[in-house]
Amino acid sequence: MKEDFRTDRRAFLALAAAGGAAVALPGQTARAQAVSTSARIVIIGAGAAGTALANRLVRRLEGAQITLIDPRAEHLYQPGLSLVAAGLKPPGYVVSQTTDWLPRGVTLIPDRVAAVDPEIRTVDTEGGESLSYDYLVLAPGLVLDHDAIEGFSLDMVGRDGIGALYAGPDYAARTWEAASRFVEEGGRGLFTRPATEMKCAGAPLKHTFLIDDRLRRAGNRGAAEIVYAAPQGALFGVPIVAEKVRMLFGDRGIETRMNHTLQAIDPGRKIATFTDADGFAREEEYDYLHVIPPQRAPQFMFDSGLAWADRWTDQGWAEVDPATLRHARYPEIWAVGDVAGVPKGKTAASVKWQVPVVEDHLVATIQGGEGTETYNGYTSCPLITRIGRAMLIEFDYQNNLTPSFPGIIAPLEELWISWLMKEIALKATYNAMLRGDA
Amino acid sequence: MKDLTFQTMIAVFEEIFGRGLFWAMVAAAFLVTAAYLYVLVRDRTMGMRQFLIAQLFMPVGAVLAVWFVMAMTDSHLADIGGPVDVIVLLGIAAVGAVGGAILVYTAERLLFRRKIEG
């Protein structure tokens, strides 16, 4: 047989050496020496922020007494709820156990916080336990105020054309039950968002885009009317993104009702009542209604004097420095995640950037120094515009776009690669973050 | 994304596939590559006949790789939205093509060598 392409052992060895070098090269960063301390650190909340921080702190601190307080046994991967509510993932996709993610050497108290006294530095639980702390991290998340929508209750979700995907994995699945009937039958779909600060301001838009796409795929878009109603004057907080969404809504034939705040629903008549900018009541009919309720901090935040006194007074977010996330009046307290009173960033992406900042300042304080890391308001929203495409929007406090891959992944283009990131890489990155690895 | 280091990438891939499956796949890729290099060195030559057959499998590998990614991510070819998407698609196809060719060539040389040369 004719053979004309010769290889030899020397070429093989050269190749193997090159391959070995490529594997060995990437950053072998030595971990900083652990700091010895007997500090008592209490973290309220074992969600994304509390868990990620706990995992990082146990690596940085030797001998610290770290206690997390969280009543919820289940950990929710909340960025997945939009996918569940569009029939793309099962509810189990977002659920794991809180204890799956916690490191050894920390204590979890499965209870709800009743009160914090920042003067004498104690946290009381509803079960009657009282903990003293040297350092406190507020990461309890937020509360969905469903009662604020008159006539609405969670048991309606999935029936009579009502959806509410924020309420959890089962409600997200029931939201898809209601939405899929709308997809099959057509009619009038009403998609809302609240007037308060909220988790992932892109999610109401994603749900609208996904149900629009579902209708198109079912060949039923012609039989449906889609209306997006929001209390704000713009479709997104970042002006350049709001303009892009306005154009996409125009392209998809999605109507808008700006300055419309959902106040009440009448499920019998299928009427939703909004107040407009002038305070007048406006009634809108619906066959499918997506409800996102007002969102606030847990009650103890209002009672403890830790919230802003002059901003978001009805919402109770922690009064922190936007760059360091340190409390403005109690330097031994930080807030991270949804409860932080900063202009943007109630997302997992924000948490990913906030946690190392709080870690840095907390550890530096224990060492008697000052931290240097700052948070610039970074947040990220893979804004799904249809099944298979998304816009990878990243921005900061100043409404600047801050693309991670400038020149490669355009933030305002509907791209498949951005969808791939949401579908494949996001949960993996989130889990790595929880473990303190990303 | 912050601090996209090699360690972060490993952590992310471990989460995507699960730690066991990810490292099993790394091991499988390593084994196939090692076997490929082994037959190259052992034979001190490329078997052009087998190489030709392996090349014929390249389109199959390319299509299988694209199909696998599309099926795993609820995507369709119609979702390609910009230049970077085309590059990613071609990249996936290229990886599938090269991987398929290496696998087929190695299998041929390892398993059917005697028969082919006999």
Tens digit of pLDDT at every position of chain A (438 positions): 344 444 444 444 444 444 444 444 443 344 568 999 999 999 999 999 999 999 999 999 999 999 999 999 999 999 999 999 999 999 999 999 999 999 999 999 999 999 999 999 999 999 999 999 999 999 999 999 999 999 999 999 999 999 999 999 999 999 999 999 999 999 999 999 999 999 998 999 999 999 999 999 999 999 999 999 999 999 999 999 999 999 999 999 999 999 999 999 999 999 999 999 999 999 999 999 999 999 999 999 999 999 999 999 999 999 999 999 999 999 999 999 999 999 987 999 999 999 999 999 999 999 999 999 999 999 999 999 999 999 999 999 999 999 999 989 999 999 999 999 888 888 888 999 999 987
Cβ-based contacts of A435 with chain B (< 8 Å)? 11
- Same domain? For A169 and A219 the reply is yes
Give the residue on A whose Cα is nearest the Cα of B73: A423
- Same domain? For A348 and A385 the reply is no
- Same domain? For A157 and A121 the reply is no
Give the residue on A whose Cα is nearest the Cα of B4: A438
Given A4, A420, A428, which is nearest B15 (Cβ)? A428
- Same domain? For A259 and A305 the reply is no
The residue ranges of every structural domain in chain B are 6-117
- Same domain? For A280 and A319 the reply is no
Given A3, A12, A414, which is nearest B41 (Cβ)? A12
Kindly state the helix (H) or strand (E) to which residue A187 belongs, with its residue range.
strand A187-192
Residue among A7, A416, A430, A437 with most chain B CBs within 10 A, to mutate? A416
Strands A74-76, A65-69: pairing is: unpaired
Residue A123 resides in a domain: yes
> Would you tell me which residues 182-211 of chain A have a C-beta closer than 8 angstroms to some C-beta of chain B?
none
- Same domain? For A171 and A153 the reply is yes
Q: How many domains does chain A have?
A: 2
Residue A29 resides in a domain: no
Cβ-based contacts of B65 with chain A (< 8 Å)? none
Residue among A209, A210, A359, A417 with most chain B CBs within 10 A, to mutate? A417
Report CB contact under 8 Å: A404, B1.
yes
Among A333, A366, A399, the domain-final residue is: A366
The Cα A203–Cα A183 span in angstroms is 19
- Same domain? For A261 and A167 the reply is yes
- Same domain? For A404 and A310 the reply is no
Given A404, A415, A437, which is nearest B81 (Cβ)? A415
Residue A184 resides in a domain: yes
- Same domain? For A152 and A204 the reply is yes
Report CB contact under 8 Å: A2, B48.
yes
The Cα A404–Cα A406 span in angstroms is 6
CATH number reported for the structural domain that contains residue A114 in this entry: 3.50.50.60
Q: Is A258 within 8 Å of A234 (Cβ atoms)?
A: yes
- Same domain? For A359 and A303 the reply is yes
Residue A316, C-beta contacts closer than 8 angstroms, at least 6 positions apart: A296, A297, A298, A301, A302, A307
Q: Where are the beta strands (DSSP E) in A323-412?
A: 333-335, 379-386, 389-395
What sign does the dihedral A338-A414-A208-A83 (CA atoms) show? negative
Among A314, A343, A366, the domain-final residue is: A366
- The distance of B60 to chain A (nearest Cα, Å) reads 23
* SS3 state at B94: helix
Interface of B with A (CB under 8 A): 1-8, 11-16, 37, 40-41, 43-49, 51, 69, 72-76, 78-82, 84-85, 88-89, 116-117
- Same domain? For A42 and A53 the reply is yes
DSSP 8-state class, residue A65: E
**Residue A399 Ramachandran class (φ > 0 left, ψ -120 to 50 alpha, else beta):** left
- Same domain? For A43 and A117 the reply is yes
A389 interfaces chain B, CB cutoff of 8 Å: yes
Cβ-based contacts of A356 with chain B (< 8 Å)? 2
Query: Domain residues for A60?
Result: 35-71+110-142+297-366
Residue A241 resides in a domain: yes
